[in-house]
Amino acid sequence: MVLMNKKAIMKLVLMLFLLGFTANVVNARFDSTSFITQVLSNGDDVKSACCDTCLCTRSQPPTCRCVDVRESCHSACDKCVCAYSNPPQCQCYDTHNFCYKTCH
């Protein structure tokens, strides 16, 4: 009886793990590089991130957001939202108290 309960618990744990993994991939908007770059990140994301149009509030400290619309978000973006269009139009919804360097 105990062995049967252990098997059921292991199946439940495996199903929850696979569900969580699938949800992460779906949240990545089916971009295969998104999940890979999250796993293999080497810390250079902030150094290579750039933004041409950064808007900031006048508060202290300021709240800044990059409003560039491109085919993909910059490398340090955590909340990237892409329109289902061809080509995709993506915008980063992260907020910081600084602006990234300009791209061009």
Q: What is the 3-state secondary structure (H, E, C) of 64-93?
A: EEECCCECCCCCCCCCEEEECCCCCEEEEC
Separation between Cα atoms, residue 68 and residue 20, nearest integer Å: 30
Residues 40-65: pLDDT tens digits? Answer: 444 445 667 888 999 999 998 999 99
pLDDT above 80 for 23: no
User: Which of 45, 96, 39 has the alpha carbon at shortest distance from 73?
Assistant: 45
Among 6-15, 26-35, 49-58, 67-76, which is the least confidently predicted range?
26-35
Enumerate the β-bridge partners of residue 83: 89
Is pLDDT larger for residue 53 or for residue 2?
53
| Cβ(70)–Cβ(103) below 8 Å | no
| Cβ(96)–Cβ(51) below 8 Å | no
pLDDT band at 98 (very low <50, low <70, confident <90, very high): very high
pTM for the full predicted model: 0.51
Separation between Cα atoms, residue 54 and residue 84, nearest integer Å: 24
User: Which of 7, 6, 38 has the alpha carbon at shortest distance from 21?
Assistant: 38
Name the fold adopted by 53-103. Cysteine Protease (Bromelain) Inhibitor, subunit H (2.10.69)
